[in-house]
Amino acid sequence: MRALVWVYMASGLLSACSGDERSTASPSAATIANANATAAKALPFNIENAMLSDAFQHNLKLAKVEVGVSGGSTLEWAATSIAIAEALVRLGADSVEVSVRRNEITQTQGVRFREVTHTYYSPNPSRSVWGRGKSWQLLQADATHLATQQDVAINDEFDALNQKFIDKGMDLDAAEKKAGSFVAKKFHLAPDWRLPGGEHVG
C-alpha cells in the first residue's frame, strides 16, 4: 500500500517535471551529461512504470521509474532523467534509477531497442543501495546509431522463426542459419547482414 501511495505522489511530482515550465538540469548534473554543453530542459514524458522498495538494510529506499519520451537529443534525454531523479529524492528516496525510452519505437518484449538513457542517483553516496561511492552514474545510447522500427521487426522475426525451427527438432546452428536466410529474403538484407543489437546504453 505504501508503494502505491508513493507512486501516486510521484506521478504528480513527476508530471510537474514534464510540464511547460520544466526545470533545467543542475550544472553538476548537466556536466555529467556533456562537459562541453549548456544545461538542457527536460522533455515531456509519460510514466510507463514506477516503484518504491524499502527492502534494504538501514531502511534505505530505492525508487525506480521508467518513462517514455518523444523526440529529443542526447542532452535532453539526460536532463529528463536528471530532473526525474532529483524529484524522486525530494520525495524521500535514497537511491533512484531512471530509464528513459523512445516512444517512437514499440516492442512487445524488453526495451533494448527503446532505451536511450539509464541513470543512477544517490545524493549521499554513503546511503546508496549500490555502494558505488559516487552520486551520479548516467549511461546513454549513441544518438548517431539509434535503432529503427525495422530493427525491431527483423529481430522479432528472426527470434520467432529460430524458435519455430528448434521446436520442430532442428539443430541449433541449422535453425539459426535457416531463420537468418528467411529474414534476409523477407527484409531484402545484404548477404553479410547481422542481427540488430539494440541501443547499447552504456
Query: Are residues 105 and 175 both part of a single domain?
Result: no
Domain total for the chain? 2
Structure confidence by residue, pLDDT tens digits, 132-185: 778 999 999 988 889 999 999 999 999 999 999 999 999 999 999 999 999 999
Q: What is the dihedral of CA 30, 96, 146, 194, to 10 degrees?
A: 140
Report the C-alpha gap between 142 and 60 in whole angstroms: 33
Query: Are residues 187 and 129 both part of a single domain?
Result: no
Tell me which residue range forms the domain holding 168.
Answer: 147-202
Q: Computed from CA positions of residues 3, 5, 6, 12, in that sequence, does the dihedral angle turn out positive or negative?
A: positive
Report the C-alpha gap between 65 and 75 in whole angstroms: 19
Structure confidence by residue, pLDDT tens digits, 52-95: 887 777 788 999 999 999 999 999 999 999 999 999 998 889 99
Average pLDDT over residues 184-202: 86
Query: Are residues 8 and 55 both part of a single domain?
Result: yes
Phi-psi label, residue 14: left if phi above 0, alpha if psi -120 to 50, beta otherwise: alpha
Query: Are residues 200 and 124 both part of a single domain?
Result: no
Residue 25: pLDDT over 50:
no
Query: Are residues 23 and 74 both part of a single domain?
Result: yes
Q: What is the dihedral of CA 144, 145, 149, 152, to 10 degrees?
A: -160
State the number of CA atoms in the 13 A half-sphere of 14 facing the CB: 27
Query: Are residues 46 and 30 both part of a single domain?
Result: yes
- Cell numbers standing for residue 8: 501516486
Residue predicted with more confidence, 8 or 62: 62
Query: Are residues 115 and 161 both part of a single domain?
Result: no
Query: Are residues 40 and 78 both part of a single domain?
Result: yes
Query: Are residues 126 and 164 both part of a single domain?
Result: no
Query: Are residues 114 and 172 both part of a single domain?
Result: no
**Strands (E) located in the chain:** 45-53, 62-69, 95-102, 115-121, 136-140
Q: Mean pLDDT in the chain?
A: 83
Report the C-alpha gap between 14 and 198 in whole angstroms: 27
Query: Are residues 32 and 101 both part of a single domain?
Result: yes
